Amino acid sequence: MRGQVEGSVYMGLGEALMEEQEFRRLPKKLSHALVHKFPSILEYKSPTSLDMPEVTTELIEAPDPRGPFGAKEVGQGPLLPIMPAVANAVYDAVGVRIDEIPVTPEKIMKALAE
Amino acid sequence: MTPVGARKANGDELRVIGVPRRRVDARAKVTGQTRFADDIFLPRMAHSKLLRSPHPHARIRKIDTSRAAAHPGVYLVLQALCVDRVRHVGDPVAAVIAREELTAFEALDLIDVEYEILTTISSSEEALRTPEPRIHEYGEEGNIHKLVALEFGNVEEGFAEADEIFEDTFFFQGNTHLAIEQHAAVAIKDPDGKLTIWSSTQTPHYLHRALAKVLEMPAAHIRVIATPNGGGFGGKSDPFNHEIVVAKAALMLDRPVKICLTREEVFYCHRGRHPVLMKFKTGVKKDGAITGMHLQTLIDGGAYGSYGVASTFYAGALQTTTYHIPRYRYQGCRTFTNKPPCGPKRGHGTPQPRFGQEVQLDKIAERLKMDPADLRLRIAESSNALTANFFRLGTVNLAECIRRVVKVSGWKEKFRKFPEGRGVGLACSAYLTGAGLPIYWNKMPHSGVQLKFDRSGGVSIFCGATEIGQGSDDVLAGIVAEVLGIDTFDVRLFTGDTDLGPVDLGSYSSRVTLMAGNAALQAAERGRAILRDAVAEKLEVPKERLRFAERRVFDSAAPEKGVTFQEAVCLAEARFGTIGTVGSYTPPLYKGGGVGPLRPIPIPPPLLKWK
Amino acid sequence: MTTLPIESQKTSQIRFTLNGEETDVCFAPYKTLLEVLREDLGHTGTKHGCELGECGACAVLLDGKPVLSCLVLAVDCSGRQVLTVEGLGEDGNLHPLQDAFADLGAAQCGYCTPAILVTAKALLDQNPHPSRDQIREAISGNLCRCTGYLQIFEAVEAAVLKIAAQKSTVT
């Protein structure tokens, strides 16, 4: 369970801070095709072991009578609050609201400049 | 981390469930012996590569594969993967099957395709503005794939009651799963002429159905084996073209055919997080109580449907599950664009609006001069509540979660108190355990388990559930071992195989532990009942007094009086014949209708003007 | 008779030490060490996620140092020592790193695990008592999408203690 929670925190941080499936048009003289901006692991940024913060996992148990031995979902839910928690923390830290995911340094700098 | 307290089932202390131990598949994984799809090498195996479209939107005028087919080492060229049209860069057009992977790759250059370029639609906004050409003939209209419009209660009344109205627009960029294992599949024509395919799929049952339909052969003659996935996260849930290609080629060539996608191809297969533009309008009272919420989403679906209808519903489904929202309106719109298709990724459709909702809540707290944690505590929804959109919540302990996080993180000492440049943020979420409906609607169970009790004392589990790293094999073994009082090491697992095990719909929607787990629980309890009858008769002990633990079946009143688990199976087999049991799980249907008004509303708003 | 395409011709041959055993192998000259290990020697414990040197899933030890086997030509491995996950255990027992990874939830899907194990072994061979930051640094080239890394760090730390305890009982 802890692995699912921490894995969700990890994946959520990736979404919150850097991961983007973005597209761009090739120049007209080429094919003008709409291609992936980052179709490689090198360019598609995702967190490495250096980026992962320490996480304190607290499990509050509320066994569900409908689940086997009270079990219920843990693999997806813990990812969801990570992105807004990061955006809210950024506001607490520097006073600008980033209304877009991912919350990149460029967006924060731009918001601070405005 | 909180230690898991000792818990009880049927009055007995749990010995397997909740007790830290090595996963049943751990040894295979740390020794590199887990056989992923691309680890399968078979004699005479050929390799396949797909020719993918370089154009985002084009009509295929002509394909000439003769040069490729004549290339030395090429066995077969398949065409018409995309019949008449390519809809995104990377859409497969043709396939080459050759003796070596490199040969297949080289021969792709020898396929001549003539395209007629069509208008490229690159965003949802463009899709709304550009109804023609349609990317698909199906969908709502133009390039709108799916519209959802639901209202629960009178939201306008809710806004009229509010002290403050908040309107905020958010954008969530798409992202992808990036499972480290690239998609791979191997197919063979069985010696008896049937088809077997191994694939890195999360949903062998859906692949089974898709293969039968596309290959026009009886599903009974197709066996799908889902190999353990080297990460899934939703990305291996769709039946893919490459799976169809190797299956078709193996049948035609009568030799094993393998494909493993390159990383670049995986990026273009995608089925990941949808880019979503969303607008929240929320009415609140001065004390923070929400009076109504209106959510609109504009969802960029990419070039195909995937599970996009579900994604569109999901995006509006879970707002009410964390905080009390008495009136709620949702308008969702998923468009087709000429980009790789989006689909289910961990959280399927819900992380994007959850982001907007939780950031807006932070703004609300600030305006109301409330601590964001206190605000959330005040409006947190509780167990067994019936939400405005008719979700009957199960066990929810959100308030306690907030209190614990506030305490452990030192929230009160940190929030708005850190020096410039450091900050803390809070957000909440809830998620559902399993989807109530299968992808194709039917009344059959969503998951089934068969158990075979061997005279050796070993128990075999047969189930369609698919191990994608989440530990589904271990969940099944743990439940069966717990009920039967044996060790997980005494259990053998045969999972993810459509011929060996009963159907499980797949590893998605956080459904496996609930559904396959309950099926395993039922099968194990049925087996235990049979064994108990036989042992009670032999020991002349009332069967209610018999306990299953430590690989023994014994009298709880006199623990020394008992038999080994193996003896129990032998007794039962002698008494009743071969011992095998089944269990199945079908989600309960909750009847909650008629509580409030529910009326579909059209999608009118000029979504384009948001940004 | 048709002529085989060049990629089918196993015209290169090397002798090297694979997991402590002298090994001869013939293969097509363009092949990487990763391909030869998996395709020509049946050692599928070493995985791949990109074949471009980006994900770290194919790491093996070449003369004791971690390398990305998808970027090493097999012809360059003549006479050298290669260690893969198949060679980590000794005398039929798991390596302490393998035990710790299995017991502490450091392997979920298990796909990146073999490469992280050999990379961690290289770290411990060189530095028997690494700090958590040194562990982070050592495996920073190995992507894992399941665990969030923390249980991997803990497993390496647990293995350090176990190896130290084993050494002290030996001496």
Q: What is the CATH number of the domain that holds C129?
A: 1.10.150.120
Please name which of B587, B586, B498 lies closest in space to residue B203, comparing C-alpha atoms: B498
Listed range (B148-157, B590-599, C4-13) with the worst mean pLDDT = B590-599
State which of C67, C87, C107 marks the end of a domain: C87
- Over 50: is that where the pLDDT of B605 sits? no
Neighbours of B484 (CB within 10 A): 27
B378 and B291 within one domain: yes
Q: Do C147 and A6 touch (CB under 8 A)?
A: yes
- The phi and psi torsions of B138 (rounded to 5 degrees) equal -100, 180
C76 and C128 within one domain: no
Count structural domains, chain B. 3
**Chain C contact partners (≥3 CB pairs within 8 A):** A, B
pLDDT of residue B508: 94
Strands (E), A21-96: 23-25, 34-36
In tens, the pLDDT along A78-89 reads: 999 999 999 999
Q: Is residue C1 part of a domain?
A: no
pLDDT of residue B192: 97
Q: Which residues of C touch B26 (CB under 8 A)?
A: 101-103, 107
**Host H or E run for residue B278:** strand B276-284
- Over 90: is that where the pLDDT of C140 sits? yes
C11 and C82 within one domain: yes
Q: For chain C, positions 57-86, list CB contacts with chain B under 8 A.
A: 57, 84-86
What is the average pLDDT across B57-69?
A: 96
In tens, the pLDDT along A50-66 reads: 999 999 999 998 899 99
B1 band by pLDDT with thresholds 50, 70 and 90: very low
pLDDT, chain A, mean: 94
Q: Which residues of B touch C112 (CB under 8 A)?
A: 180, 230
Chain C residue with minimal CA distance to B30? C98
- B416 CB near a chain A CB, below 8 Å? yes
Local structure of B324: helix, strand or coil? coil
State which of C37, C54, C87 marks the end of a domain: C87
Local structure of B294: helix, strand or coil? strand
Q: Which residues of A touch B4 (CB under 8 A)?
A: 59, 61
Number of residue pairs across A and C with CB atoms under 8 Å? 61
- B20 CB near a chain A CB, below 8 Å? no
Q: Which residues of A touch B367 (CB under 8 A)?
A: none
Local structure of B406: helix, strand or coil? helix
What is the average pLDDT across B443-471?
A: 97
C4 band by pLDDT with thresholds 50, 70 and 90: low
Q: Nearest Cβ partner of B429 from A14, A75, A77?
A: A77
For the domain that residue C12 is a member of, what is the CATH number?
3.10.20.30
Chain C residue with minimal CA distance to B24? C102
Local structure of B282: helix, strand or coil? strand
List Cβ<8 Å contacts ≥24 apart for B415-422.
Answer: B415/A92, B415/B371, B415/B372, B415/B373, B416/A92, B418/A92, B418/A93, B420/A93, B420/A94, B420/A95, B421/A93, B421/A94, B422/A93
Q: Do A71 and B517 touch (CB under 8 A)?
A: yes
Q: Is residue C47 part of a domain?
A: yes
B250 and B113 within one domain: yes
Please name which of B21, B180, B32 lies closest in space to residue C95, comparing C-alpha atoms: B32
CA pair distance B333, B319, nearest whole angstrom: 17
Task: Please give the distance of CA B299 from its chain centroid, rounded to a whole number.
Answer: 19
List Cβ<8 Å contacts ≥24 apart for B398-402.
Answer: B398/B322, B398/B428, B398/B430, B400/A60, B401/A58, B401/A60, B401/B428, B402/B373, B402/B376, B402/B377, B402/B426, B402/B428
The verdict on whether omega for the bond into residue C29 sits within 30 degrees of 0, i.e. cis, is no
Q: Could you tell me which CATH class the domain A2-58+75-113 is placed in?
A: alpha beta
Q: Domain residues for B290?
A: 125-176+271-392+394-429+600-610
Q: Is residue C78 part of a domain?
A: yes
Q: Is residue C140 part of a domain?
A: yes
- Over 60: is that where the pLDDT of B564 sits? yes
Q: Which residues contact B298 (CB under 8 A, 6 or more apart)?
A: B124, B125, B128, B276, B277, B278, B333, B335, B607, B610
Q: Do A11 and C152 touch (CB under 8 A)?
A: no
Q: For chain B, positions 218-237, list CB contacts with chain C under 8 A.
A: 228-233
Please name which of B230, B281, B483, B598 lies closest in space to residue C44, comparing C-alpha atoms: B230
- Over 70: is that where the pLDDT of B239 sits? yes
- The CA radius of gyration of chain C, in Å to the nearest whole number, is 17
Q: Which two tokens stand for residue C12?
A: 């290169």
Chain position carrying tokens 């996950």: C85
**Chain A contact partners (≥3 CB pairs within 8 A):** B, C
Q: Which residues of A touch B360 (CB under 8 A)?
A: none
CA pair distance B372, B512, nearest whole angstrom: 35
Q: Do A52 and C148 touch (CB under 8 A)?
A: yes
pLDDT of residue C8: 74
**Host H or E run for residue B64:** strand B58-64
Q: Is residue B64 part of a domain?
A: yes
Q: Which residues of A touch C109 (CB under 8 A)?
A: none
Residue C57 · residue C84 · CB < 8 Å = no
Q: CA–CA distance from B62 to each of B85, B242, C133 (Å)?
A: 11, 22, 58
Q: Which two tokens stand for residue B229?
A: 């996935």
- Over 90: is that where the pLDDT of A33 sits? no
- B397 CB near a chain A CB, below 8 Å? yes
Q: Which residues of B touch C53 (CB under 8 A)?
A: none
- B44 CB near a chain C CB, below 8 Å? no
pLDDT of residue A45: 95
B594 band by pLDDT with thresholds 50, 70 and 90: very low
Q: Which residues of B touch A34 (CB under 8 A)?
A: 56, 88-89, 120, 122, 338-339
B28 band by pLDDT with thresholds 50, 70 and 90: very high
pLDDT of residue C171: 61
State which of B239, B269, B299 marks the end of a domain: B269
Dihedral sign (CA B342, B345, B347, B351): negative
B455 and B338 within one domain: no
- B420 CB near a chain A CB, below 8 Å? yes
pLDDT of residue C167: 87
Q: Nearest Cβ partner of B347 from A23, A39, A76?
A: A76
Q: Nearest Cβ partner of B401 from A21, A56, A60?
A: A60
Q: Do C47 and B35 touch (CB under 8 A)?
A: no
Would you list the DSSP string of B439-481? SS--SS-SEEEEEEE-TTS-EEEEE----SSS-HHHHHHHHHH
Q: For chain B, positions 199-258, list CB contacts with chain A under 8 A.
A: 233
What is the average pLDDT across B286-314?
A: 96
Chain position carrying tokens 């717990």: B482
pLDDT, chain C, mean: 95
In tens, the pLDDT along B105-158 reads: 999 999 999 999 999 999 999 999 999 999 999 999 999 999 998 999 999 999
- The phi and psi torsions of B329 (rounded to 5 degrees) equal -130, 135
**Chain B contact partners (≥3 CB pairs within 8 A):** A, C
Q: Which residues contact B245 (CB under 8 A, 6 or more apart)?
A: B48, B50, B78, B81, B92, B95, B97, B257, B259
Mutation pick from B180, B183, B488 vs chain C, by most beta carbons of C within 10 Å, is B180
Count structural domains, chain C. 2
C70 and C121 within one domain: no
pLDDT of residue C169: 81
Q: Is residue C158 part of a domain?
A: yes
Strands C81-83 and C59-62: antiparallel
Q: Do B26 and C107 touch (CB under 8 A)?
A: yes
Q: Do B178 and A87 touch (CB under 8 A)?
A: no
Q: Which residues of A touch C113 (CB under 8 A)?
A: none
C74 and C119 within one domain: no
B260 and B386 within one domain: no
Q: Which residues of A touch B120 (CB under 8 A)?
A: 25, 32-34
Chain A residue with minimal CA distance to B480? A68
Q: Which residues of A touch C152 (CB under 8 A)?
A: 49
- B19 CB near a chain A CB, below 8 Å? no
CA pair distance C99, C95, nearest whole angstrom: 6
Q: Give the HSE-up count for residue B517: Cα atoms under 13 Å, Cβ half-sphere.
A: 25
Is the confidence metric ipTM above 0.90 for this complex? yes
What is the average pLDDT across B182-193?
A: 98
Q: Is residue C50 part of a domain?
A: yes
CA pair distance B541, C120, nearest whole angstrom: 55
State which of C60, C87, C114 marks the end of a domain: C87
Q: Is residue C12 part of a domain?
A: yes
pLDDT of residue B459: 98
Residue C124 · residue C160 · CB < 8 Å = yes
B138 and B107 within one domain: no
User: Nearest CA to CA, how far is C114 from chain B (Å)?
Assistant: 6
Q: Which residues of B touch C52 (CB under 8 A)?
A: 263
B319 and B261 within one domain: no
Residue C74 · residue C140 · CB < 8 Å = no
Dihedral sign (CA A47, A52, A53, A56): positive
Residue B272 · residue B343 · CB < 8 Å = yes
- B4 CB near a chain C CB, below 8 Å? no
Strands B552-555 and B546-549: antiparallel
What is the average pLDDT across B180-209?
A: 98
Q: Where are the domains of chain A?
A: 2-58+75-113
- The CA radius of gyration of chain B, in Å to the nearest whole number, is 28
Q: What percent of chain B has pLDDT over 70?
A: 94
pLDDT of residue B11: 53
Q: Do A41 and C50 touch (CB under 8 A)?
A: yes
- Over 80: is that where the pLDDT of B598 sits? no
Q: Which two tokens stand for residue B15?
A: 């010995």
Q: Nearest Cβ partner of C54 from A9, A40, A50?
A: A40
In tens, the pLDDT along C54-105 reads: 999 999 999 999 999 999 999 999 999 999 999 999 999 999 999 999 999 9
Helices (H), B328-487: 351-367, 372-379, 398-409, 411-414, 472-484
What is the average pLDDT across B578-602?
A: 72
B534 and B464 within one domain: yes
Q: Which residues of C touch B23 (CB under 8 A)?
A: 102, 105, 107
Q: Domain residues for C154?
A: 96-170
Listed range (B363-372, B387-396, B545-554, C86-95) with the worst mean pLDDT = B387-396
Q: Which two tokens stand for residue C111?
A: 């796909």
User: Nearest CA to CA, how far is C49 from chain A (Å)?
Assistant: 9
